[in-house]
Amino acid sequence: MPGGTLFKVAGIVSCAGALVPDLAIWFILVSALAGALATVVNSYYVFRMEKEQS
């Protein structure tokens, strides 16, 4: 999943946190960090695949 799509999903999950105000900060933090981590892992994976092909 491309990074832009991940952050859109993270935004939707963060908005869902509005339904549970006591846990809203966790919805925001976890979704943003998970999206960022997935983007970094995917970038590294693509980098390694391109390096092996060279």
Q: What integer pLDDT is reported at residue 15 of this predicted model?
A: 93
Kindly report, residue by residue over 11-50, the tens digit of the pLDDT.
999 999 989 999 999 999 999 999 999 999 999 999 999 9
Q: What integer pLDDT is reported at residue 54 of this predicted model?
A: 78
Q: What integer pLDDT is reported at residue 4 of this predicted model?
A: 86
The helix (run of H) or strand (run of E) holding residue 27 is helix 24-53
Select from 38, 35, 13 the least CA-distant residue to 24.
13
Checking if the pLDDT of 1 tops 70, the result is no
What's the rounded Cα separation, in Å, for the pair 5 and 24?
A: 21
Specify the pTM: 0.78
Domain residue extents for the chain: 3-53
Tell me the Cα Rg of the chain. Answer: 15
Q: What integer pLDDT is reported at residue 3 of this predicted model?
A: 77
